[in-house]
Chain A
Amino acid sequence: MTERRAARIELSRVTKQYGPVTAVRDVSFTIDAGSLVTLLGPSGCGKTTTLRLIAGLETVTSGRILIGDDDVTALGATDRNVSMVFQSYALFPHMSVLDNVAYGPRVAGRSRRHAAEVAREALAGVGLAELGDRLPSELSGGQQQRVAIARALVLEPRVLLFDEPLSNLDARLRRQMREEIRTLQRRLGITVVYVTHDQEEALGVSDRIIVMNHAGVAQEGRPRELYDSPDDVFVAGFMGEANRVKGVLQRLDDRTGRVTIGGLTRMLPHRGLADGAVDVAIRPEAILISRGDVEDGVLRGTVSQAAYLGSRMEYSIASELGELFVTSPAVDAPLAPGATVGLTLAAHGITLIRP
C-alpha cells in the first residue's frame, strides 16, 4: 500500500442556505489529522449538511473548507479525495460486492485486474474476502456495512466520512460495528468525521465531539468534557439526561464558587457566571437516595413514579426543587411510589450552565 496521509479538516465561517432556509450558519471548526470526530445533534441541526459540505456533495453558500493544506471549497465530491460511507450504505445493487469495491479504482482508470486486486485486498481488510461474488442484497446488514467501508477505503482517502453508519443495524451489532470502525481508524491512522444523533455512540467512538444545534455549533470538546460540563441547557439535555434546577451562586475566587441548591450546598467551577440566581444541571445518577428518616442538610422528596429497567431503577421524585429524574443502581431494594426519601448530591455530574 502507498503511504496514507491523514489530513486535517478546517471549516471557516461556513454557511449553507437552501433558498430561505439556513441549514448551516457560520460554522467554524478544525479537525486534527488522524482523529475521529463526531458531529452530534438532533435531526435537522445541520450535522449531515456539514458532513456533505466536507464531502463536496453540497456547495457552501459562503465560507471556506480546507482539507490538508488545500482549499477545496470550489471542488466537487469527485475531486476531493474524500470517501463517504452512507447511511443506507448506497451499495450499487446491480454489481457484485467485488465490483462495488472495485468501482473507485475502475472509474479512476485502473485496469480491471488491478482494480479487482486492490478490491480483494480491501475486502480482506474488513473480513469479507470470501463474499466478493455475492450481490449486496444477499448480505446481512453488518456485512453490507463492511462492504461500504471497504469500498470507501480502497481509494486510500485522506478523510473518511460516516453518515449515521449504525442507524440501520440492531442494538447488539451496533456496538460491535462501532468498535470495528474505531479499531480500523486507529490502525489506518486516517481522519474520520462521523455523524450521529446517538450520544452514547458519540461518547463511545470519538476523540472529540462537536455538538450541533439550530444550524450551528453548540459546544465542542472531548467526550468527558461535554458530559461533565455542558455549556448550556441544550448540550446538558442532549448529552444524556439532566435535571435543570435553580440555584444561587456566590463566587469565591476566579475559578470556583459556592452554589446553594435548595438546602444543599456545593463548590463548583463558576464558569464566569455572575453572582446570584443560576441554572444548575444535575445528572440523574448524581442524585443519591437515602431512605428512612431524613436528616438535616438533606433534601426531602417523595417517590411519585418508579420503573425497573434491568440494570437500574428510574424514579420520578417530587421535591422542593421540582420533579427530579433520578436513577439508582439499587435494583434489589426498589422504592415504591409514595415512599419518602432523602436526597443528596454526588461528587460528579453537577455543573452550572449558561441559561
Chain B
Amino acid sequence: MFKGDAFVAGAVVVVAVLVGLFTFYPVARILLSAVQESDGALSMRALVERLFAAKIWRLDCVTGGRSCGVGWNTLLLAVLTATTTTTLGLAFALVVTRTGFKAKRLLRVLTVLPIITPPFVIGLGLILIFGRSGLVNQLMEWAFTVAPSRWIYGLPGVWLAQTLAFTPVAFLVLIGVVEGVSPSLEEASQTLRAGRWHTFGRVSLPLMRPGLANAFLVGFIESIADFGNPIVLGGNFGVLSTEVFFSIVGAQLDQGRAAALGVLLLALALAAFFVQRRVVGPTVYTTISGKGDSGRPAPLPPLVRRLAFGVALPWATLTLTIYAMALAGGFVETWGRDYRPTLRHYAKAFSIEWGGGGIIWSGSAWRSFWTTLELASIAAPLTAALGILTAYLLVRQRFVGRAVFEFATMLSFAIPGTVIGVSYILAYNVPPVELTGTALILIVCFVFRNMPVGLRAGVAAMSQIDGSLDEASRTLGGKSFVTLRRVILPLLRPAVVAALVYSFVRAMTTVSAVIFLVSADYDMATTYIIHRVLNGDYGVAIAYSSVLIVLMLGAIGLIQLLVGERKLRRAATAHAPLPTGPIPA
C-alpha cells in the first residue's frame, strides 16, 4: 500500500515508533501510575480518591473561609483568561484590519513577543509594577499612605499575567478570522440597505462566531497548560499545573497524586481540544475560496470602533510598559528600595574573568546558559526535520492507518507540558528506557514538545505547493525521496526556517516540561531563573531574562539573514498562479 516505496514506508514506521515511544508511552505510564497505590498495586479506588480529593474540588471559597480546590481554580482561571484574551484579541484584530490605524506594524510586533519571551517574564514585570514593593504600591503609599497590598499574588495577578501573555495568540487566531469574512458579503448587506451597525451585528459577527469560539478554546488550553505565570504569581492560589509540580518535587513526593492530577489536567486539555476540533473542523463558514474576492471590508460602526480602540490601545501600552519594566529591572540595585543604576546583576550572572588557562566563565548563569544553548541547538534541527517529514507524510502520502497517524500527532499537540514532564519522569526513570538525569531526555522532550510547530509550518506550506509538482517529478522518474529532496524541500525553505527558529526559541524559553527533567548536571536557563525568582532574587532573574529575549531576537535576525530574504521571496512567489497571458510579441 506504500506503492512499493521503501522510503515512505520506512519514514512512516520511524515516525510512528518515535511518537509512540516518546509521547504515547509516557502518557500511558502516567495513566497507569494514577491507578496504582503507593506499593504498586492496581486500584481504581486510588484513582477515584485522588481525582475527587477535597483538595481539588472543595468549594470553600464560595461559602467563605479558605480557598477553593485547585480543580475549580484551574477552570475559573481558564474561563476568565479565555474570555479576556478573546475580547482583547478581537479588539486588536478589528483595529488592525478594519480601521485606518497607522501603527499596524507595531501591533504585529507585539504578536512576536510571547514567542520569544520566557513564560514568566510577564509575571516578573507585573511584580515590578504591582507587587508589594512595586511602583504602584509605592506611589499609593507615598501619596495616600495606603498600606501596600498583595492583591497581585493570586487569581487577579495570574489572570492579568495570562491575559497579557496570551492575548497575542488570540489576536493571531482572530486576525485570520476577521480577514476571512468576505467583504462582498458585507457589501451585499449594505446594498440591501442595512446600516453599518446592522451589517456588523447580523453579518460580520455571526460569520466570525466559530473563529471566536476557537480563540476562546485556544485561550482556555493555553491557560490550563501554563506553568510559568501561576508559579511566579500564584501565591496560595494553586492550579493543577503548579500542584502537579509541588506534589512531585516538594516535600510531598507523591508520584501517584502527581499522576492523578496530571491525568485530570490531561483530561481537561483533551476535552477542550476535542471541542475545539469540533468547532473548527467541519463547519467551514469562513469564506475563503480560490477565487479572488475583491471589495472593501465594511467600516466598523462608530461605537464598535471606539470600543476597539479604547480596549486595544491602553492594553498595548500596558504590555509595552511591562516589557520595559522587566528590562529596566535588571539595571537597578533593588527594585522598590534602591533605584540606583547598577550592572551588579548582570555581573553576578554573566561575569567573565581572565584566569591562568584563558577565559573563566565565572558568572552564575553561564553554566545553564551554555547548556540551554547547546541543547536547543541540537534539538532544533531534529525537531524541524521530524516535523517537516511528518508533514510530508500527512499531506502528500496515502497509506494504511494515515487517519490514525494524523490523529495521534494532532493529539500530542494537546498534552500540557506539565503532564509531559511528569510522565517523562514516570516513564524514563526506570528501565527499559532509562533517561532521567541525562541531556538526552531534555533533547527528546524538546523535540516531541515542539515537533507540532514544525509539523504545522510544514503542513501549511506544503498545502500551498501544488501536488502536480510531485506528480511531475514522479512521472519524470523521481522516487519519493528524490522528489522530497529536490522539489519539495527547496520550496519549503521558508517553512523549514520557521520550524528551525521556532523550535530553537521554544527550546530556549520553555519551562513547564523541563522543570521536571533538569538535573544538577543539566540545568536550563528558564529553570535557573524560576529558582532565582522563587528565592526572591529578582535582579539576576530579570537580567537573565533580558539576555534571553535579546538573544532570541538576535537568533531570529541571524537566521533570517543567513537563509536570505531574497531567495525566500522568490520561492514564495513562484507558486503563485501561473501567468496565463499571451506571449509578448
* B-binding residues in A (CB < 8 A): 55-57, 59, 76-78, 80, 82-84, 86-94, 103-104, 107-108, 135-137, 140-144, 151-152, 155, 161, 168-170, 172-173
Contact = CB atoms under 8 A, between A and B. Distances in A.
A135 B3 contact: no
Contacts of A142: 582-583
Interface stretch (B9-17, B217-225, B464-472): B464-472
A149 B200 CA distance: 51
Contact of A170 (B477, B571, B582): B582
Contacts of A84: 471-472, 475
Interface in B1-41: 3-5
B573 interface: yes
B396 interface: no
B582 A173 contact: yes
B473 interface: yes
Interface in B465-491: 466, 468-469, 471-479, 482, 486-487, 490-491
B578 interface: yes
B402 to A, nearest CB: 13
B575 interface: yes
A207 to B, nearest CB: 23
Interface in B485-531: 486-487, 490-491
B401 interface: no
Contacts of B575: 93
Given A103-B486, A141-B579, 14 more contacts: A55-B471, A57-B471, A80-B475, A84-B472, A88-B468, A92-B473, A94-B571, A107-B482, A136-B574, A141-B581, A141-B582, A152-B475, A152-B476, A170-B581
B476 A104 contact: yes
B580 interface: yes
Given A142-B583, A170-B582, A137 B573 contact: yes
A59 B491 contact: no
A92 B476 contact: no
Nearest to B468: A90
A57 B570 CA distance: 29
Contacts of A78: 474-475, 477-479
B478 A107 contact: yes
A152 B476 CA distance: 7
A161 B471 CA distance: 13
B584 interface: yes
B583 A103 contact: no
B471 A94 contact: no
Contact of A86 (B471, B478, B479, B580): B471
The 4 A-B pairs at the shortest CB distance, nearest first, are namely A93-B574, A90-B472, A90-B468, A104-B476
A97 to B, nearest CB: 13
Contact of A143 (B472, B490, B576, B583): B583
Interface of B: 3-5, 466, 468-469, 471-479, 482, 486-487, 490-491, 570-571, 573-576, 578-584
B583 A173 contact: yes
Contacts of A57: 471, 474-475
Contact of B578 (A59, A103, A151, A168): A168
7 contacts: A76-B474, A88-B468, A89-B578, A91-B472, A151-B472, A172-B582, A173-B583
Nearest to A161: B475
A140 B466 contact: no
B469 A92 contact: yes
A181 B473 CA distance: 22
A88 B471 CA distance: 12
A133 to B, nearest CB: 14
Contacts of B475: 55-57, 77-78, 80, 82-84, 152, 161
B14 to A, nearest CB: 21
Of the candidates B471, B477, B478, the one having the most CB atoms from chain A within 10 angstroms of its own CB is B477
Contacts of A135: 570, 574
A180 to B, nearest CB: 12
Contact of B472 (A76, A82, A86, A168): A86
Contacts of B478: 78, 103, 107
B471 A93 contact: no
Nearest to B469: A90
A136 B473 CA distance: 16
Nearest to A172: B582
A87 B574 contact: no
B355 to A, nearest CB: 51
Nearest to B579: A141
Nearest to B474: A77
A104 B469 CA distance: 13
Contacts of B570: 94, 135
B573 A151 contact: no
A141 B580 contact: yes
Contact of A140 (B4, B571, B574, B579): B579
A92 B580 CA distance: 17
A293 B479 CA distance: 73
Contact of B476 (A103, A144, A168): A103
Given A103-B476, A137-B573, A88 B580 contact: no
B286 to A, nearest CB: 25
A150 to B, nearest CB: 12
Contacts of B476: 83, 103-104, 107, 151-152, 155
A59 B398 CA distance: 12
Nearest to A59: B3
A142 B584 CA distance: 10
Contacts of A107: 473, 476-478, 482, 486
Contacts of A90: 466, 468-469, 471-472
Contacts of A55: 471, 475
A140 B479 CA distance: 30
Contacts of B482: 107
A76 B5 contact: yes
Contacts of B487: 92
B491 A94 contact: yes
B473 A103 contact: yes
B573 A87 contact: no
A224 B5 CA distance: 45
B374 to A, nearest CB: 33
Contacts of A83: 475-476
A104 B579 contact: no
A168 to B, nearest CB: 5
A140 B469 contact: no
Contact of B3 (A76, A143, A169): A76
Nearest to A82: B475
A93 B491 contact: yes
A137 B576 CA distance: 9
Contacts of B473: 92, 103, 107
A84 B471 CA distance: 9
Nearest to B584: A140
A193 to B, nearest CB: 13
Nearest to A143: B583
A20 B290 CA distance: 27
Contacts of A155: 476-477
Nearest to A57: B471
Given A88-B468, A90-B468, A136-B574, A108 B582 contact: no
A70 B575 CA distance: 37
Contacts of B571: 93-94
A173 B576 CA distance: 22
A195 to B, nearest CB: 13
Of the candidates B4, B469, B476, B576, the one having the most CB atoms from chain A within 10 angstroms of its own CB is B476
Given A137-B574, A155-B477, A172-B582, A77 B471 contact: yes
Nearest to B573: A137
Contact of B583 (A80, A89, A91, A140): A140
Of the candidates B466, B474, B475, B582, the one having the most CB atoms from chain A within 10 angstroms of its own CB is B475
Nearest to B466: A88
A15 B466 CA distance: 26
A89 B466 CA distance: 10
B578 A144 contact: yes
A92 B487 CA distance: 7
A57 B469 CA distance: 12
